[in-house]
Amino acid sequence: MRTRPLKVALLGCGVVGSEVARIMTTHADDLAARIGAPVELAGVAVRRPSKVREGIDPNLVTTDATALVKRGDIDVVVEVIGGIEPARALITTAFEHGASVVSANKALLAQDGAALHAAAEEHGRDLYYEAAVAGAIPLIRPLRESLAGDKVNRVLGIVNGTTNFILDKMDSTGAGYQEALDEATALGYAEADPTADVEGFDAAAKAAILAGIAFHTRVRLDDVYREGMTEVTAADFASAKEMGCTIKLLAICERAADGGSVTARVHPAMIPLSHPLASVRGAYNAVFVESDASGQLMFYGPGAGGSPTASAVLGDLVAVCRNRLNGATGPGESAYAALPVSPMGDVVTRYHISLDVADKPGVLAQVATVFAEHGVSIDTVRQQGKDGEASLVVVTHRASDASLTGTVAALRKLDTVRGVASIMRVEGE
């Protein structure tokens, strides 16, 4: 074993960074044996240097992250500060000064992954980011390496623990969205500002990363259709139950049937209780990958939290250090397929539409005609009338999102349709 240590700079020492430092210390011997050289924490960049950080030598702590990544003797920079800047500038500077990078930064990778990969390649360094998607769950490496010989057609999953916790609460207790969110906040699952999670931005960033790797195509955050889950109601869950379904916030990346394009989207959807994703409870994540040769694979586990995320960071650190010792680099960006990313209107799926209508002769026929005129075939209709008004639930066969949007716009124009109470896609069948 080499005795000269590989030097690691840690950018950020919050929930994840402090766990990375702790595991680097407590597992030092095992890490050295697995890598073939010791790894040394050479510096820790933080915002608040006065904060006491157990187990971290105060002499290593600095507020000057730029100077740390420019030192020239750093082998690997671990970036766990998140956000776009200064993370992007620091990672680019790290490559320019000879370091490889391990990052957990989904927002940055989803927005600027191509440029960062190019910078890594230009300088002959690695960029690894297993921790950016679904915490501890191995997904990036299986897609980049284990499935490199297969053809992935679909990635479907729950990639945000906060929203899964909220939806699971609504499902199991009948609570409304706000009540379930309040509980998630009180228990520390939801942040004080939960927007990134509940509006689907976090999941959309992860979907962009997964789609890019799965389909060997550049997919940016802007390419991902996104709907949050703040409008999901207790009534939606009641409807889902009547259909033998539950509701999950799903990230869905698909290759079109003709193979010529891909789509990526995040939105709440009904899935049958018999689908394995329906039984993913609490803050857990799970991702289904469907490939030509492998068939269906499912990856499950804790998608967030200091220790699980640090596990993924440490796995990358070991891989990057091994590459470094071998004078090699691991897989870089693979975007050779360059498939177009189609808009949401091209997505084909099933829909559950709940309408408030007048309960009088001819209304059902009028509504059915609108569906027919837009080429959307109805699978089931359920009606419940009360005092001259009725609620009408229509479940469609597979149709394009554009046809469904046209149908709903036309339904809203009918005098007899008082309102469209909810529209939800039905997946996993």
Residues near ligand HSE, by CB under 6 A: 160-162, 197, 202, 303-304
Pairing type for strands 348-358 and 378-386 reads unpaired
Residue from 7, 106, 169, 206 carrying the catalytic annotation = 206
Nearer to ligand HSE, 197 or 333 (CB): 197
Distance CA 354, CA 421 (A): 5
CB of 334 to ligand HSE, least distance (A): 23
Nearer to ligand HSE, 75 or 202 (CB): 202
Distance CA 123, CA 119 (A): 6
CB of 300 to ligand HSE, least distance (A): 14
Number of helices followed by number of strands (H, E) in the chain: 14, 17
Instruction: Fill in the amino acid letter for 224.
Output: V
Distance CA 26, CA 233 (A): 46
Distance CA 27, CA 208 (A): 33
Tell me if 177 sits within 8 A of 166, measured CB to CB: yes
CB of 147 to ligand HSE, least distance (A): 22
CB of 183 to ligand HSE, least distance (A): 14
Nearer to ligand HSE, 160 or 291 (CB): 160
In terms of Cβ atoms closer than 10 Å to its own Cβ (0-12, 13-18, 19+), residue 48 is exposed
CB of 96 to ligand HSE, least distance (A): 28
Angle formed at CA 190 by CA 186 and CA 193, multiple of 5 degrees: 105
Where in 232-374 does DSSP place strands (E)? 245-255, 262-272, 284-291, 295-302, 348-358
Verify whether residue 248 is a known catalytic residue.
Answer: no
SS3 percent helix, strand, coil of the chain, rounded to 5, is 40, 25, 35
Nearer to ligand HSE, 132 or 399 (CB): 132
Place of tokens 């079109």: 256
CB of 202 to ligand HSE, least distance (A): 5
Tell me if 311 sits within 8 A of 137, measured CB to CB: no
Nearer to ligand HSE, 132 or 367 (CB): 132
Nearer to ligand HSE, 17 or 161 (CB): 161
Catalytic residue ranges: 206
